[in-house]
Structures are given as structure tokens and as C-alpha cells.
């Protein structure tokens, strides 16, 4: 039996999810670029980080990062050379933070997954008042986690 795919940490969800060549307005062939593939391109090619640093940020091994990066570059090259559209969707990813809110004092902050997974619900007190009555803020669901955090459920 194959090992389950590890969730890749992604810090940026793209606002634009489709690129099409000028000659084609969405009706021709297309390549699907996964969100984690786009994140690999962003970290390596746009931010100019080393592969080991990129892999660390995505919380995956360096060989896994290399495979993701090669897959992304292959799809982008195929689209540019052969005039295919690029659709960005799906994958095995989770955002890096979850928005939290204290029901006692109303303080809002972003909590990392490492701290959330280190304990059970309610074990992360408010940094301002120390209350344990904290929850994932629904007010900022669209702004921060977009439904992909561990509290709101991840999507493939």
C-alpha cells in the first residue's frame, strides 16, 4: 500500500487561477498546475530561495520539492511552447496559519499549524488575556484560510 501524500504548506493562494494564450479563449487544451506546484515556482524562481530553504518552508523533503518543481516547470514549458492554457487548482496543500479569536477579550491573531497541532483544542491561550476560550475566527475565514486550514477542512 502506498504512503498517503503529505500536506504541503503553502503561503500564497493565487488570485488568478487561469491563464490562456491570446489565440485561444479557454476552449483548447490545458495543463492543470497544482497549488503546491505554483508555490514551488514562487519560492524558487520568484523569491530566489535555495531548494533546501524552499523545502523547509513547504515542510517537505528536498527530493520531494525537486519533483514538484520539475513537474511545475514541465507544465509551464508545455503551455508556453504548445499554446496550452494553464489552470491552477487542487493539490495536497494547507495554508500556514489559521485566524484565531478570543471570546473573552476579542483579540484576533494568526496561529501557526505547529502550535495548533502540538495540543488539543483550547490548549492555546489568548496571548493578551490568557483565556482558553479561543476559536478559529469565522470573520476572517475568506481573508486568511479560505477554507483550507485544518480547522475549516482542507481540500484536494
Running along the chain, 156 residues long, what does each successive block of 10 average in pLDDT? 76 86 76 95 96 93 96 96 92 73 84 59 75 68 42 43
For residues 12 and 76, membership in a common domain is answered with yes
For residues 78 and 35, membership in a common domain is answered with yes
Q: Which domain holds residue 105?
A: 96-145
Number of domains in the chain: 2
State the pLDDT at residue 149.
Answer: 46
State the pLDDT at residue 78.
Answer: 96
For residues 30 and 64, membership in a common domain is answered with yes
State the pLDDT at residue 74.
Answer: 97
Contact 88, 72 (CB under 8 A): no
Among 51, 74, 93, which residue terminates a domain?
A: 93
Which parts of the chain fold into alpha helices (H)? 35-41, 51-58, 62-82, 113-118
For residues 84 and 32, membership in a common domain is answered with yes
State the pLDDT at residue 79.
Answer: 94
Angle 51-58/62-82 helices, nearest 10 degrees?
Answer: 100
Contact 8, 37 (CB under 8 A): no
Cα–Cα distance measured from residue 85 to residue 30, given in angstroms and rounded to the nearest whole number: 4
Amino acid at each position: 500500500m502506498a504512503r498517503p501524500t503529505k500536506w504541503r504548506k503553502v503561503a500564497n493562494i493565487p488570485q488568478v487561477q487561469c491563464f490562456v494564450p491570446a489565440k485561444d479563449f479557454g476552449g483548447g487544451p490545458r495543463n492543470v498546475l497544482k497549488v503546491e506546484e505554483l508555490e514551488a515556482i514562487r519560492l524558487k524562481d520568484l523569491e530566489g530561495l535555495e531548494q533546501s530553504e524552499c523545502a523547509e518552508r513547504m515542510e517537505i523533503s528536498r527530493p520531494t520539492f525537486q519533483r514538484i518543481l520539475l513537474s511545475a516547470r514541465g507544465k509551464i514549458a508545455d503551455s508556453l511552447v504548445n499554446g496550452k492554457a494553464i489552470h491552477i487548482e487542487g493539490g495536497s496543500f494547507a495554508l500556514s496559519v489559521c485566524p484565531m479569536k478570543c471570546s473573552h477579550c476579542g483579540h484576533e491573531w494568526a496561529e501557526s499549524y505547529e502550535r495548533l497541532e502540538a495540543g488539543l483544542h483550547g490548549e492555546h491561550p489568548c496571548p493578551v488575556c490568557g483565556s482558553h476560550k479561543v476559536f478559529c475566527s469565522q470573520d476572517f475565514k475568506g481573508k486568511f484560510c479560505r477554507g483550507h486550514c485544518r480547522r475549516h477542512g482542507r481540500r484536494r
